[in-house]
Amino acid sequence: MIAVLERAALGAARALSAVGLAALLCLAAMTLADGLARWLFNAPIEGVRDVGSLVIAVAVACLLPVGLAERSHITIRVAEAALGARAARWLDLAATILVTLVMAVICWQFFVYAGKIAQAGETTWILKWPRAPFWYGVATILAAGAVVQAIVLLRQMADMRGRDA
């Protein structure tokens, strides 16, 4: 069951990362067009900066779940040499629990932030787009990342149970 969840989470995280990459490519194209318009016509494209700040937030959030699912974060392996393989596995588990908790808190705080922006009625400077939907989107993507990290934690706990049994 955990293997099925893990495969599904990885597939969804990779799809989400493709969305994030597409968003960054669109932003790059908009920025290039804006720069060319400034240079050639001395007329910037209004709203590129407005959209850019929101697109970057969404794109970065889209790339986080795949890093969690693929466990591509930085790991320092000094405990195994000093404490042994079993202790190192327990430290890895503690680190995974901590990352899961941090992801949950980050997700919660982004929902709080989006709520405050919605309540204040904040909009972008030029286009006057409401900012809250973008931040709710970021919070939702981060929630997906927290779920992915919880699946990683379940996998690690199952692996440890199998090794230490």
Domain ranges of the chain: 2-164
Model pLDDT, residue 87: 87
The answer to whether residues 9 and 147 touch, using CB atoms and an 8 Å cutoff, is yes
- State pLDDT tens for residues 56-65: 999 999 999 9
Does 165 have pLDDT greater than 70?
no
* Tens-place pLDDT, residues 101-132: 999 999 999 999 999 999 999 999 999 999 99
Using DSSP's 3-state secondary structure scheme, residue 70 falls into: coil
Q: In whole angstroms, give the CA distance from residue 43 to residue 25.
A: 22
Distance between CA atoms of 80 and 101, rounded to whole angstroms? Answer: 24
| Cross-strand pairs, 130 | 123
The mean pLDDT value for 55-75 works out to 92
Give the pLDDT confidence score for residue 72 in this predicted structure.
87
